[in-house]
Structure 1
Amino acid sequence: MPKLEFEAVIDFVADINEEKDCLMSQDNTQDNPAALWFNIDIPKGHDFKAGERVRVIVEKVS
């Protein structure tokens, strides 16, 4: 069961190294307590681009 789920637009895709990139979505004001954002490294070979919407799901694994 998901603990947290939200949708956001990818603001930017950063080249980290030969093996991975970083997807980022950030609230530039931090004034809205309801605004959620992410910064996650993923393996190269993805097809994500800035401007696309993604769903982020965070679950506890035990």
Structure 2
Amino acid sequence: MSQHIIEVVETIEFVAHIDEQKDCLMSQDPPESLWFNIDVPKGHGLQAGDRIKVTIEKV
């Protein structure tokens, strides 16, 4: 059973190329926002300006 910790809904500020297999989604908006920096597999179809939801759970 997993324990829900938090859901963060934010706008992707930047998509960085890491290597041939993955990119990094980043958001470092103003201080009232929660930041994220998440590596994802290529082919995700996301771009700067897209809104996403990140869910954190302890499993």
TM over 0.5: yes
Q: Could you list the runs of 5+ residues in structure 1 that have no partner in the other structure? A: none
**Partners of 1:36 and 1:50 in 2: how far apart?**
16
TM-score normalised by structure 1 residue count: 0.83
1:23-62 superposed matches below 5 A: 23-27=25-29, 29-30=30-31, 32=32, 35-61=33-59
TM-score normalised by structure 2 residue count: 0.87
Residue identity matched to 2:13: D
Q: Could you list the runs of 5+ residues in structure 2 that have no partner in the other structure? A: none
The structure that is strand-richer by fraction is 2
2:4 corresponds to 1:2: yes
Percent identical: 56
Q: What is the aligned length?
A: 57
1:13 paired residue number: 15
Offset, 1:22: 0.2
